[in-house]
Amino acid sequence: MDFGAAMFFTDYSMKPAELGQALEARGFESVWAPEHSHIPSSRLTPPAGGGQLGKQYYDVMDPFVTLTAAAMATKSLKVATGVCLVIQRDTIQTAKLVATIDQVSDGRFLFGIGGGWNQDEIESHGAVFKTRFKKMREQIEAMTEIWSKSEPEYHGEIVNVPKMRTWPKPVQKPRPPVIVGGAFRIARGARYVMATAGSRMRAGRHIRTSPNFCRSSGRWRPRPAVIPRVCRSRFSGLPRTPTESNGIAIRASQGW
């Protein structure tokens, strides 16, 4: 099992480079950064866990920028989005972002994705809340075409990419690991799943996955995914900040 730490990076949190170096020195496998573009003042969607939404949700920095800073300050630590709200992002531009950070980190990027829970935030970007998981699946399928082909093209029900040329391509082939994460009961169509802090998933639960989401070596192949347990613990020796996430995520390394 590999251990990774998650942090809401803000202008008052521990710096990405500093945290990355501290985690690498202590044998952690990865650092994870979440994403929220904004929190609408309408606040139509309450937090899944109830209560007030923490200040860090409003203040969190862009994960691709903070993770690049962490990657540049480390040598072996993997950098991961936990999670990237791809449904709120442009498909082609996100494919370039992922390929670029995988290049500058020498193949250390883990692409954690999620469908999101904040309906008014999602709809601010023009996405439809009810069909967000279909859009997410099509976006990853389109990105895989972009990452693996010199002249990719993709046409789905929601996402369309005309025949085009774009570089760079990721270091990892055919793409960086795509990991679906979040607090939900069933992960449909995900080859790999991660549990985030606060989720209600139990350790060791197995889910039989659908063959129509992730590819391996160009072939559709369903595989069971193990839902890892999320522990809450203090980082030994690390300074604590008001927004530090003290969840330590565990994931099974075999097959990733």
Residue 36's DSSP bridge partners are none
Higher-confidence position of 196 and 107: 107
3-state secondary structure of 191: coil
Determine which of 75-84, 179-188, 220-229 has the lowest per-residue pLDDT on average: 220-229
Question: pLDDT band for position 50 (50/70/90)?
Answer: confident
Rounded CA-CA distance 204/228 in Å is 6
Per-residue pLDDT, 229? 31
The answer, yes or no, to whether residue 105 has pLDDT greater than 90, is yes
Rounded CA-CA distance 155/152 in Å is 11
Mean pLDDT, range 73-83, rounded to an integer: 97
Are residues 206 and 223 in contact, defined by beta-carbon separation less than 8 angstroms? no
Helix intervals (H) in the chain: 16-25, 55-59, 63-72, 91-104, 119-124, 132-148
Report which of 32, 21, 153 is spatially closest to residue 75, judged by C-alpha positions.
21
Rounded CA-CA distance 240/220 in Å is 43
Question: pLDDT band for position 182 (50/70/90)?
Answer: low
Percent of the chain surpassing pLDDT 70: 71
Rounded CA-CA distance 160/183 in Å is 29
**Most confident of the ranges 45-49, 169-173, 196-200:** 169-173
Rounded CA-CA distance 222/97 in Å is 27
Per-residue pLDDT, 211? 35
Are residues 28 and 77 in contact, defined by beta-carbon separation less than 8 angstroms? yes
Mean pLDDT, range 177-197, rounded to an integer: 57
Mean pLDDT, range 84-106, rounded to an integer: 98
Determine which of 45-59, 90-104, 109-123 has the lowest per-residue pLDDT on average: 45-59
The answer, yes or no, to whether residue 245 has pLDDT greater than 50, is no
The answer, yes or no, to whether residue 175 has pLDDT greater than 80, is yes
The answer, yes or no, to whether residue 34 has pLDDT greater than 60, is yes
Per-residue pLDDT, 183? 54
Mean pLDDT, range 25-54, rounded to an integer: 91
Per-residue pLDDT, 44? 85
* Mean pLDDT, rounded, of the chain: 79
